[in-house]
């Protein structure tokens, strides 16, 4: 799959290798968040679409404001820390813009 993306092959191979190292590590908590293309738009008021153990969300717009990703990371970390249990999680995140919103983003 990686070989089908010219120019990004070395970066993606490193990314997958690092994810494997993190998953294999014992005794560490982590959350790996996989957003689609990031924008500089302000935080949306849209619900997050989440798929665990995936590289992307089916049905999302494929673009998300950086502020939404940061907000999701902080909220998710707070929830996981407050559970006071070990956590190891990989999630793809996206939002679903209307056609008009996506054209303006």
What are the beta bridge partners of residue 37? 63
Task: Give me the pLDDT at residue 5, please.
Answer: 61
Q: Is the pLDDT of residue 2 over 70?
A: no
Mean pLDDT of 72-86: 85
Task: Give me the pLDDT at residue 33, please.
Answer: 94
Q: What is the pTM of this model?
A: 0.80
Asked if residues 95 and 64 have their Cβ atoms less than 8 Å apart, the reply is yes
Task: Give me the pLDDT at residue 3, please.
Answer: 55
CA distance 13 to 3: 9
pLDDT digits (tens, 9 = 90+) for 50-73: 999 998 899 999 999 999 999 999
Task: Give me the pLDDT at residue 67, please.
Answer: 97
The H or E element containing residue 49 is strand 49-52
pLDDT digits (tens, 9 = 90+) for 7-35: 767 777 888 888 889 989 988 888 899 99
């Amino acid at each position: 799959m990686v070989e089908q993306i010219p120019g990004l092959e070395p970066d993606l191979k490193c990314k997958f290798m690092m994810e494997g190292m993190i998953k294999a590590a014992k005794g560490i908590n982590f959350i790996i968040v996989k957003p689609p293309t990031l924008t500089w738009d302000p935080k949306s008021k849209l619900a997050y679409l989440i798929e665990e153990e995936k590289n992307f969300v089916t049905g999302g717009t494929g673009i998300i404001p950086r502020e939404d990703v940061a907000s999701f990371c902080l909220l998710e970390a707070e929830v996981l820390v407050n559970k006071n249990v070990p956590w190891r999680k990989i999630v793809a995140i996206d939002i679903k813009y209307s056609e008009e919103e996506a054209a303006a983003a």
